[in-house]
Amino acid sequence: MDLMEYKARDLYKQYSVPCNSSVMLENLDNLAADTATLEFPLVIKAQVPVGGRGKAGGIKFAENAAELAEKSAAILGMDIKGHTVNRLLVAEKAEVTREFYLSIMLDRLTKCPMIIFSTAGGMDIEDVARETPEKIIKLTIDPLVGVQLYTARYLTSKSGLDDSLTKPLFAVLTNLYNLFIGSDCMLTEVNPLAVTPDGRLLAIDGKVSVDDSALYRHPDLIAYRDAQVEDELILRAREFDFLYIPCEPDGNIAVMSNGSGMIMSCIDLITKADMSVGAALDLGGGATAERIKEAVRIVLSNPQIEALFINIFGGITRCDEVAGGVKAALENMDLKKLIIFRAEGTNKQQGLDIINSIESDIITVDGIRAGVKALAERGMAK
């Protein structure tokens, strides 16, 4: 899970990673009071889960209160790459003499945290790696040792920096590493890490990505994640450990399966047949009939969905469990929607027997292509 900048800054403050003062705003009702602790000039940043905010007009500077009000109003509510700006980060504009890039990420090759450091801060690290790779230093951290003073000294020496930056860099590295470990991160990135005229280091911008599998250990991050969701069906699906994925806004077909590969195959073939998928739901593994019942009800509660294609490969998730869940879901529903059911694997025939006993508009098929054909024949094309 990627955190927006304002939440990354909350973690920076929690772990004493130095950053310039800032506040997060969800409205402008009390703008003067909410920003009273900040000193001009200020930078106003749109908070959206995508990059390229600056080029899209989502970052502006304010020299006084009038400019702050005007430019905040211009950014709040704007659309950036399909995301509506519902939050702003207002931060003090730092005086900077130099910018670095610093991150700690999980290196899958060594199975250890890795430091990436560059004196070419403020730029996309991918561009630096392509154009001037000699400016990037990578250093693996031994988890049994952690960050040591010699770690920072190696980075400053290798980069040709003055030794006066070694101790400030060591302090930032230590706290950033504590954040990486303490919050179960896959990535903690500071870009730029700014040098101030008095020699301090400040995190001017930040990106934090947390391991989804570890979220159960961080209730505050779960609350943050759920607060970003505007689609109620996503939250309802999470209650049962399902992944509900909104797709095309005008799509009238839903796909339900037990695996992302199966879902993508269905979506690809449906789209090629000039039909549109409005939503998908990944059951994961080992779903019981009771949970399948809830999954079907969640998907069919979407009023724009006219057809549901259920595509199951029975392994841990048995075909008869899925069929039983489908039957239970439909028992008390006034269903006027088409269901296509395809199953292969464990207890396939038992599952088909259950499906065939349901008195609803359900078509059983032997494969994905047959299911797509059935959807087209029932008038689901655009």
Give the active site residues.
101, 189
Whole-angstrom distance, CA of residue 296 vs CA of residue 330: 8
Paired residues of 105 in beta bridges: 114, 187
3-class state of residue 25 by DSSP: strand
Number of other residues whose CB lies within 10 A of the CB of residue 68: 23
User: From residue 343, how far is each of 67, 108, 227, 319 by CA, in Å?
Assistant: 61, 35, 36, 6
Q: Are 271 and 330 in contact (CB under 8 A)?
A: no
Separation between Cα atoms, residue 234 and residue 236, nearest integer Å: 6
Note the helical H segments in 139-287.
149-159, 166-182, 219-228, 232-238, 260-272
Cβ of 145: how many Cβ atoms within 10 Å? 8
* Six token digits for residue 131: 């154009």
* Angle of CA points 42, 44, 48, to nearest 5°: 155
- Count of Cβ atoms closer than 10 Å to residue 199 Cβ: 12
296 near 284, Cβ under 8 Å?
no
Cα angle at 185 between 107 and 81, to 5 degrees? 100
Alpha carbons within 13 angstroms on the beta-carbon side of residue 208 total: 25
- Under a CB-based contact definition with an 8 Å cutoff, are residues 251 and 241 in contact? no
